[in-house]
Structure 1
Amino acid sequence: MQDLELVKRYREIRVADVVDALDRYGFHDRVLVSNEIKPLYTGIRMAGYAVTVRANRVQEEFPSLTPEEYDRYAGEWYGKRANYEHFMKHAGPGVVIAVDLDGYNDVGFWGSMVGLSAKAKGVEGIVLNGGCRDTYEIRKIQFPVFCRAVGRTEVVGRIEIKPENVNVPVTIGGANVNPGDILVGDDDGVVVVPKKVAAQVLERAEKQLNLDRESQKPYLDRTGIKL
């Protein structure tokens, strides 16, 4: 069960504070998601418990079909071979979805339809080791996305999602992510907080932020800037 208060507190601090706290617990750079995985738009503040997905690249030839036949083929693919419900049924408030797309950057795994569905469920965001499409609409709905690339294709004929590959250890941008770890993201990128130290790291990160604010206060007062 997710501690939504813990998620809220993580969302209110900076990735930099979390990274500094993790340094002090000996985790250092191995918890940093590669800065090649970037926020789709600025101003994102995201935190949540990881629901993980390891998607598989498909090595098959596309069938030669009429448009109508391809519609049926696509429907069957989404129903049987890439059913998003395998992981979406685990997603809700306090959850960040973490997807390893097997290095397939051209696939638009995440689009505005599933983004709207996730937003309606209260999902906190998604971190993709791959591509997102419908990017204009994703920005319009303000669903937090961190991705490696802008993809254009659908998953049909390219990617499979198997139920046994949901909530398993994955690697996202060089960082290991286990189900239930905390993912924190902002304009600086994404960091992984191992679940066993989530509470301690949060307290230390809040302390880091408060110390920083105390140091900044004379300059903030002088300039009239509010952070």
Structure 2
Amino acid sequence: MRTVVVTDPPRADVGDAEKLGEYGVATVHEALGRVGYLGPEYRPAWSGARIGGTAVTVVCWPGDNLMIHVAVEQCRPGDVLVVATNSPTTDGLFGELFATALAQRGVRGVVLASGVRDVVELREMGFPAWARAVSAQGSVKATAGAVNVPVVLGGQVIHPGDVVLGDDDGVMVVPRADVPRALTAGQARLDKEAVNRAAFQQGELGLDRYGLREKLPDFGIEYLSYEKWAEDQR
């Protein structure tokens, strides 16, 4: 790995990233064809946060957060810090003091392939964090890594400047070039869901609204009275 800090990479529009964050992870993930999701391992340190921002990426060594210190300087308002490690770890590489420094720079949150700590303090200050673990395990500052290079989290390649979304459903990435499509498709999905929600509030069933009822026989599904079912069990 080349130990490099790439400065000023192109970023997606901050306003577009914020709008996608408002749509939510599940909506955008579905709208784009079920792509970009980092998987269920990435959980929020505290519930209720929802963000969309542009990625500043970091590669750290296990148990070593030197490069997070280096990366803070590269962050701008509207960014999300994305921390990868070059081998699996759950060490708590990020906590309240990092969050304080990032919040001062207008960073919207952090996503960690490692662990996070100081959860109570993060919740109290309202700084969103997603991680693979919560861990008090400390770290050193001894090994060089990289900043603003492509990284892989949860099987997803994240480039600096891509849009990263996070909420209670998890985390996903939208490639920078795909942001316009995500905005259009996400809004269309929200509009469709609003129509369906209104129908369900009026008592319509998904079986009928989605045209599933006539397909049930193709799945081999039968409707039996309880008496008939009980008789068949004898």
TM-score normalized by the length of structure 2: 0.75
Pairing 1:105-116 to 2, within 5 Å after superposition: 105=90, 107-116=91-100
What residue is the counterpart of 1:135 in the other structure?
Answer: 119
* CA distance in structure 1 between the aligned counterparts of 2:134 and 2:179, rounded to whole angstroms: 31
From 174, 179, 185, the equivalent of 1:198 is: 179
Render the CA deviation track for 1:147-205: whole Å, top value 9, x for unaligned: 00112122216x6343xx10111111221111111111111111111111111111111
Identity of aligned residues (%): 31
Amino acid at match of 2:110: I
SS at match of 1:109: strand
1:152 aligned residue (112, 136, 147): 136
Q: Which runs of 5+ in 1 are unaligned?
A: 59-76, 223-227
Asked if structure 1 preserves the Cα contact closer than 8 Å seen for 2:44 and 2:170, the reply is yes
Contact 1:57 1:160 in 2 (8 A): no
- The alpha-carbon distance between structure 1 residues 83 and 180, as it changes in their structure 2 partners (threshold 3 A), is closer
Q: List aligned pairs for 1:163-178, cutoff 5 A.
A: 165-178=146-159
Partner of 1:5: 15
Task: Please give the root-mean-square deviation of Cα atoms over the aligned residues, in Å.
Answer: 2.2
Task: From the superposition, tell whether residues 89 and 11 of structure 1 become closer, same or farther in structure 2 (CA, over 3 Å).
Answer: same
**Partner SS for 2:184:** helix
- Between the aligned partners of 1:32 and 1:2, the Cα distance in structure 2 is 18
The letter for the 1-side match of 2:88 is: G
- Structure 1 runs of 4+ aligned residues shifted over 4 Å read 218-222
Greater Cα radius of gyration, structure 1 or 2:
2
Instruction: Provide the secondary structure at the position in 1 that maps to 2:32.
Output: helix
Separation of aligned partners in 2, 1:91 and 1:108: 21
Contact 2:115 2:133 in 1 (8 A): yes
2:84 is the counterpart of 1:103:
no
Letter of the aligned partner of 2:37 in structure 1? L
- Compared CA separation, residues 117 and 210, structure 1 to 2 (3 A): same
Letter paired with 2:166: G
The match for 2:52 is 47
> 5+ residue gaps in structure 2?
1-10, 204-234
Aligned residues: 192
Give the deviation of 1:220 after TM superposition: 5.7
Q: Secondary structure of 2:130's match?
A: strand
**TM-score of the aligned structures, taking structure 1 as reference length:** 0.77
1:47: how far off? Answer: 0.8
Corresponding residue to 1:90 among 74, 79, 84: 74
- How far apart are 1:2 and its partner, in Å? 4.9
The C-alpha deviation readout for 1:33-61, integer Å capped at 9, x for no partner, is 02111111111111111110011237xxx
Q: Which one of 30, 47, 56 corresponds to residue 20 of structure 1?
A: 30
Q: Which amino acid aligns with 1:15?
A: V
Alpha-carbon displacement from aligned partner over 1:84-108 (angstroms, at most 9, x marks no partner) = 3421112122211111133110x21
Q: State the one-letter code of the partner of 2:23.
A: I
Give the distance between the partners of 2:154 and 2:61, measured in 1 at CA: 16
Matched, 1:186 2:167: yes
Moved more, 82-91 or 207-216: 82-91
